[in-house]
DNA sequence: TTAAATTAGGACCAAAGGGTCCGAAATGAT
DNA sequence: ATCATTTCGGACCCTTTGGTCCTAATTTAA
């Protein structure tokens, strides 16, 4: 799906995390989003280390956003989890591929990436939350 | 780099393969492009199985394009190597994400993918060959 | 001060991507 | 026929990604 699964999980989770005040529990988040809890825990730890989340241990602990939702772009999250140059590679697999040594697809692909970057830079967690699919998915009465 | 390394290698190789007549050798291709030869061999086999290449065994054998270069789009190659729905996944990692059950990023992302698809559908091997970087890369006199 | 709750962090496992190697089958030339 | 050459196909290895599990550290509350 172009980005890592972990990045997708992160977007889902971050869209459902409080901006300040109360902390939210990994367990609750995972349950609500129907994601593998221990894996989500790992991802949230990474986001905390990256400064995107604040964490607190012990009772009443959990995670919350470190900034206002409209201050956190999708790009920040991508870069935090997949590295700053997640979008920098050459489509054709050339080890070097830039304006002065372009691969045959360089220009066409730069256009694609430009639009993609514009999209992930301008989209923030506030946008995700607005559109949010917080309808508790009617799947099947799930036990456990 | 968004697509697999193998897809990039395939694009490089296919841009350098003859349209008809003579067959080209895996070994020569790999050497010219400075790619890992046995891995490239695997990729070429896949492309042959997918009907994009024609192969011939034995002396004078090798690979050549199965169609005219301008009849083979980058999309065909992507789909052959990464599956028909290489572009279909949801950015946010939702198991289902379509027009009737869109994730919060669905519309923005559909726009990105539309441009990307347009690009890879309209770009053919003939285009790649035209732009081709067939300057034998002046790296360092390489032995072996 | 003790116990419960919760993140932090590491060990570990499985699957997929990237990569190597080797034997078998096919084919052209001698 | 035989031999050299080349693809075909499978076995195998390493690293990354996705995922689980256990223990330690921290914090709140009784």
DSSP string, chain A: --S-HHHHHHHHHHTTS-SSSS-B-HHHHHHHHT--HHHHHHHHHHHHHTTSEEEE-STT-EEEESS-GGG-BHHHHHHHHH-TTTT-S-TT--S--BTTB--TTHHHHHHHHHHHHHHHHH-BHHHHHHT---S---S-----
Residue A142 has pLDDT above 70, yes or no: no
Average pLDDT over chain B reads: 91
β-pair partners for B62: B56
B6: the nucleotide nearest its CA (via C1') is C18
Name the domain count of chain A: 1
Instruction: For residue A64, tell me if it sits in a domain.
Output: yes
Residue B139 has pLDDT above 60, yes or no: no
Give me the residue label for tokens 């604040």: A54
Residue B45 belongs to a domain with what CATH number?
1.10.10.10
Within 8 A of B88 by CB-CB distance, chain A residues are 1
Determine the Cα–Cα distance for residues B58 and B38; give it in Å rounded to an integer: 17
Instruction: For residue B57, tell me if it sits in a domain.
Output: yes
Give the CA B58 to C1' C23 distance in Å. Answer: 16
Residue A139 has pLDDT above 50, yes or no: no
Mean pLDDT over B4-31 rounds to 95
Determine the Cα–Cα distance for residues B43 and B45; give it in Å rounded to an integer: 5
Instruction: For residue A112, tell me if it sits in a domain.
Output: yes
Give the CA A38 to C1' C12 distance in Å. Answer: 14
The closest of A100, A97, A80 to A88, measured between CA atoms, is A97
Å from B106 to nearest chain A CA?
Answer: 10
Confidence of residue A19 (pLDDT cuts 50, 70, 90): confident
pLDDT, position B143: 36
How many CB atoms within 10 Å of residue A107?
Answer: 11
**What percentage of chain B carries pLDDT values higher than 90?**
85
B108 vs A134, more confident: B108
pLDDT digits (tens, 9 = 90+) for B83-97: 999 999 999 999 999
Instruction: For residue B10, tell me if it sits in a domain.
Output: yes
The token pair at B75 is: 């999309």
pLDDT, position B136: 41
Instruction: For residue A137, tell me if it sits in a domain.
Output: no
pLDDT, position B131: 79
Which residues neighbour A98 within 8 Å (Cβ) at sequence distance 6 or greater? A106
Q: Would you call A11 an interface residue with chain B, using a CB distance cutoff of 8 Å?
A: yes
Residue B5 has pLDDT above 50, yes or no: yes
Within 8 A of B100 by CB-CB distance, chain A residues are none
Within 8 A of B131 by CB-CB distance, chain A residues are 104-105
Contact B119 A112 (CB under 8 A): yes
Mean pLDDT over A72-96 rounds to 96
Which chain A residue is nearest to residue B132, measuring alpha carbons?
Answer: A104
pLDDT, position A144: 34
Structural domain of B25 = 5-130
Instruction: For residue B141, tell me if it sits in a domain.
Output: no
Confidence of residue A131 (pLDDT cuts 50, 70, 90): confident
Mean pLDDT over A128-139 rounds to 60
Give the CA A78 to C1' C13 distance in Å. Answer: 26
Which chain A residue is nearest to residue B8, measuring alpha carbons?
Answer: A92
Span between the terminal Cα atoms of chain B, in Å: 30
Instruction: For residue A22, tell me if it sits in a domain.
Output: yes
Give me the residue label for tokens 């890592």: A4
Mean pLDDT over A59-70 rounds to 97
Give yes or no for a contact between B24 and B53, defined as CB atoms under 8 angstroms apart.
no
Determine the Cα–Cα distance for residues B119 and B140; give it in Å rounded to an integer: 35
Instruction: For residue A126, tell me if it sits in a domain.
Output: yes
Task: Break chain B down into helix, strand, coil percent, rounded to 5.
Answer: 45, 10, 45
**What percentage of chain A carries pLDDT values higher than 90?**
85
């Amino acid at each position: 799906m172009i980005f890592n699964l972990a990045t997708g999980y992160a977007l889902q989770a971050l869209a459902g995390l409080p901006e300040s005040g109360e902390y939210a529990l990994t367990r609750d988040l995972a349950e609500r989003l129907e994601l593998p809890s221990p894996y989500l825990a790992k991802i949230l730890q990474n986001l905390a280390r990256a400064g995107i989340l604040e964490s607190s241990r012990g009772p009443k602990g959990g995670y919350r956003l470190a900034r206002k939702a409209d201050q956190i772009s999708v790009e920040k999250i991508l870069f935090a989890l997949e590295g700053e140059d997640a979008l920098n590679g050459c489509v054709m697999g050339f080890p070097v591929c830039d304006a002065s040594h372009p691969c045959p697809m360089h220009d066409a692909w730069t256009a694609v990436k430009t639009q993609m970057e514009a999209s992930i830079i301008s989209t923030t967690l506030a946008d995700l939350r607005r559109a949010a699919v917080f309808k508790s998915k009617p799947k099947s009465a799930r036990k456990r």
